[in-house]
Structure 1
């Protein structure tokens, strides 16, 4: 079973209008509300491409019920720990410029954290756990240094989708996959990347620090998968970007689902690129039909 861990889920409230005038009343043209959070996005795409999974983390209040009801309606299993305060709402304004206003998230008590640890400590070597996104301020991202080794002690694999120091810390636990983008890779090593050879050089440094597989996403310039055995470059696919928010999460879902199923990194990369690209070209997370259509356009070269 694949588990996704979202420590700070949200309702993503998508607002669309032509232009935002600060200091004035603005009227939206349309809106949508989705269950949000990086791990939850991974769960939703995994389910669409045919991989059963269980979403866990912390949920609270009427907003938490909205998130859980939405996941259950999509056929996703849930095993969340209830918290006392409401799950946050993130407002994403899609106008002439894209603007986000993200909530802080609830306070998580020691007892609630221990309950999540009990869930994660009950896994087995047959399981894979996707840790994605930041933790609530009450926990801080250092909490991952408690949760990831707990999972690894069960024999389960971990996938880690973080930025910066949190990503670097996770490498000590040999994650199955990490997926920084090229800008995050520059920030990690304090360098400027000039071309794909530089990207591969620093991706291999992440591999040397413990990762089993590294994908560097490069938006309109494609994606690079580095494994101990080989490097693969997925060419960019042309289209109109509508949703940059969930594209990376979708790529993680596509790779993880296929790799757990087939253990084939090349095929996993293709599904990762298909899922990520299809979501980038969709208003919400991509549909299975659009993912399959996009998969047919994926071209990968071995370097």
Structure 2
């Protein structure tokens, strides 16, 4: 590949912090196609304002992969919908890790889908069960049409991943997505992370929380959606069934056997929600 894809600072920040996750041949080929040559001022600002940004991103992404691993054996094959896919090469990981267990993967995002698709096609040489759709997640009618055109069917169990989405849409827009994808059997599994609201943040992490909110809202020039655990529970139960919430301190303990960075719920600013739809 002769030309590398230049990406926005926010996308580069996430990829950089999770770089050690991308250790398989396909994922490495993908990362090699991304231009990391420019120093990201946002990355420096984030690390100054919130030193554990690397651990937060890494544990969040590793938690998603672990949740998929727990689910994948429950059905012979499943669909995977990655809503707000961004530039993360999760699809490549799934194709390598679970061959034959996934009937289709559908990535949806409103930006960089065309560029990402070109890289995927060059790496994979075939489209296979992978579909990349450019669509605004806040347009559920268009999203439903495009998902069906890509082969999605509610009758087949699915894993639905919305990583890094909720801070940028409203709770009502998230509920509309859940309503769109809910099934009578509740055989879909939903996974998302959410930015925690101040009431659930321990005093010794409040300064980090305020720093991150200020930095994100300044960078994006818009409001960032934060939620309490009770708000998340209420939102999920409108159309789904909450399975569990996982704080980053729990994820860190599972992955490393010890809590070095995050010592109690609310540390890490984000938490994971797993639910049936």
Same fold (TM over 0.5): no
Structure whose residues are more often helix by fraction: 2
Answer 1 or 2: higher relative contact order, Cα 8 Å, separation at least 6.
Answer: 2
* TM-score, normalization by structure 1: 0.36
